[in-house]
A and B are shown apart, each in its own frame.
Chain A
Amino acid sequence: MDDAEAIKRCQQGDREVFRHLVERYQKRAVAHAMAILFNRDDAEDAVQEAFIDAFKAIATFDTSRMFYPWFYVLLRNRCYKMMAGRRPTESLDEALLLDSQRGVTEDTRLALEKALHSLTREEREIVCLKYFSGLSYDDLATHLQVPRGTVMSRLFNARRRLKGKLTRVVLREQEV
């Protein structure tokens, strides 16, 4: 069953079909929430709340649109609400944020996670969506609800800051 079909049935009152959407997107959503919150438990809570929000608002969803970008807006609102008023955590969560491909050392992965952790949430979010979810600038603009120009400048600033945070050793390792 595709998303549009599932959503139409949800809109007609079939609650059970909502399971299809939860099971299809929960892993990706938790990974994205982790990228913002850097904490596994908080990420799961935020995703759960976002799915409840989505269920409540499903009647207003336009089935000609894609589900996940719409859901992502709800998810990041939940994440930001959860972070509001909280002090940024000093330590990294034990749960892994990144998977490394072959040939990448554990030290590089840890250094990258640490560097990502030191970015602001907006910077971290845009880097994760761009590099790890492979979104284009237009997709980023849709997900983040900002103009394309803002995507370009935010991404550029995030890259610059990330470059500054990563140790020279890590960058030198990768130089060809």
Chain B
Amino acid sequence: MKELTCEDVLMAQMAAADGEEPAFSKAQLAAHMTGCANCQNELNQLLTLDRVLAGHTLAEPHVNLWPAIENRIAKPVLSWKPFALIGLLLIIYKLLEMLPARDLGMAFKLVPLVIVTLLFVLIKENPFRINTELVMER
């Protein structure tokens, strides 16, 4: 069996004083305590400290944080969509800029496609969605 150190014993004694289950049996603790003057002395001091602390509570200050918190949570959360749109436009601009000077025709061909795509993004419509109502009419 592992021999108990003073620290083991004191920790277990304080756990017992706190109403918790100590890690060692009462007999083991008592056997150590009777033969150890240091532990007896330190336990007394720790129990005195307990009494000092027991005479106090945490002061709960008067606060009213709700108005500030309400303001913060009432603010609309910034949507990522406008930033995504700006990013997309910048990428398109960069792509157009990178196109070789000779082949401007290609860039002009892409412009209407980009405009139509953006239009669908803005009106939140999916051009590939099947309109079920029309299918039913048939």
Contacts and interface: CB of A to CB of B under 8 A. Distances in A.
Interface of A: 15, 18-19, 22-23, 26-28, 30-32, 34-35, 40, 44, 47-48, 51-52, 55, 95-101, 103-104, 108-109, 112, 127-128, 130-133, 136-137, 152-153, 155-156, 159-160, 162-163, 166, 170-171, 174-176
9 contacts: A15-B70, A27-B63, A52-B72, A95-B59, A95-B61, A131-B54, A136-B20, A166-B49, A174-B55
A159 B48 contact: no
A155 B68 CA distance: 36
Contacts of A95: 59, 61
Contact of B61 (A30, A100, A132, A170): A30
Given A156-B10, A163-B49, A174-B48, A101 B55 contact: yes
A48 B49 contact: no
Interface residues of B, number: 35
Contacts of B73: 15, 18, 52, 55
B49 A32 contact: no
A55 B75 CA distance: 13
B55 A35 contact: no
Contacts of A55: 69, 73
Contacts of B70: 15, 19
A153 B11 contact: yes
Given A153-B11, A166-B52, A48 B61 contact: no
Interface of B: 7, 10-11, 14-15, 18-20, 23, 45-46, 48-49, 51-66, 68-70, 72-74
B11 A156 contact: yes
**Residue of B18, B58, B63, B72 ringed by the most chain A CB atoms within 10 A:** B58
B60 A131 contact: no
Nearest to A171: B48
A97 B57 CA distance: 9
A22 B65 contact: yes
Contact of A48 (B23, B54, B60, B69): B69
Contacts of B10: 156
Nearest to B70: A19
B58 A103 contact: no
A19 B53 contact: no
